[in-house]
Homo-oligomer: A and B are copies of this chain.
């Protein structure tokens, strides 16, 4: 958080960032195991050895740093959104706008999304100490969502379901929707913002109103 002082330090920081950007792009294209340090170094215009001056932990530290960055970015997106929205707002426009922001973020950072899909899920589920760290990171995200959702549930705006589960599902749905965009991409290059907007509308309706057409009078209330 402290701005580096000297020109030297600023330059070092900037080279570090270049390496990270290069790593992000290679990891997103190849996936962790097929990515090579050689290629990361090449794209960043350094020799392989130089990477170790910046990331002593080698390949793994590179991946972890990239993932940490990504989580920070999405976390900021979410907390900023709820901060600027203020408390006790009607949830529909607030959530719709958030969905739109996250979808747009993924559209504009497809590399980030790729790494999330290809690597994070694998890491999350691996059961070792490293997994624990990423579960914590992920939980930070979930909690940033959970708090406002929980409030909305208490104020009676949202249905009384477990807020943590709702937060998980919310994030999972946005994620899943973006995945769907990747897989069904025969829609010849629709404008990104337009597509994100349509998907945000779809998701908002599905999540807030549900699939069932509301029945004013329940015919069969058995079970």
- Residues of A whose CB lies within 8 Å of any CB of B are 31, 33-34, 90-93, 114, 117-118, 121-122, 124-126, 135, 138, 156-159, 161-162, 164-166, 168-169, 172-173, 175-177, 179-180, 182-184, 202-203, 205-214, 220, 223
Residues from chain B with a CB closer than 8 A to the CB of A114 are 125
A118 to chain B: closest residue by CB: B122
Once A118-B122, A172-B176, A183-B124 are accepted as A-B contacts, the answer to whether A214 and B214 lie under 8 Å apart by CB is yes
Q: Which residues of B contact A168 (CB under 8 A)?
A: 176, 180
Distance of A109 from chain B, by nearest CB (Å): 15
Q: Are A121 and B124 in contact (CB under 8 A)?
A: no
Residue of B nearest to A164 (CB): B184
Q: Report which of B93, B124, B125, B207 forms a contact with A210, defined as CB distance below 8 A.
A: B207
Nearest-Cβ distance from residue A33 to partner chain B, whole angstroms: 4
Which residue of B121, B138, B179, B180 contacts A117 across the interface (Cβ within 8 Å)?
A: B121
Question: How far apart are the CA atoms of A162 and B223 in the complex, in Å?
Answer: 28
Given contacts A92-B212, A220-B90, contact A161 B121 (CB under 8 A): no
Residue among A92, A162, A180 with most chain B CB within 10 A: A180
The answer for the CA separation of A207 and B165 in the assembled complex, in Å, is 13
Contact in complex: B135, A183 (CB < 8 Å): yes
Question: A213's contact among B93, B121, B159, B173, by CB below 8 Å, is which?
Answer: B159
14 sampled A-B residue pairs with Cβ under 8 A: A31-B122, A118-B121, A124-B183, A125-B179, A135-B183, A138-B183, A159-B210, A165-B202, A166-B211, A172-B176, A172-B179, A175-B176, A176-B176, A207-B210
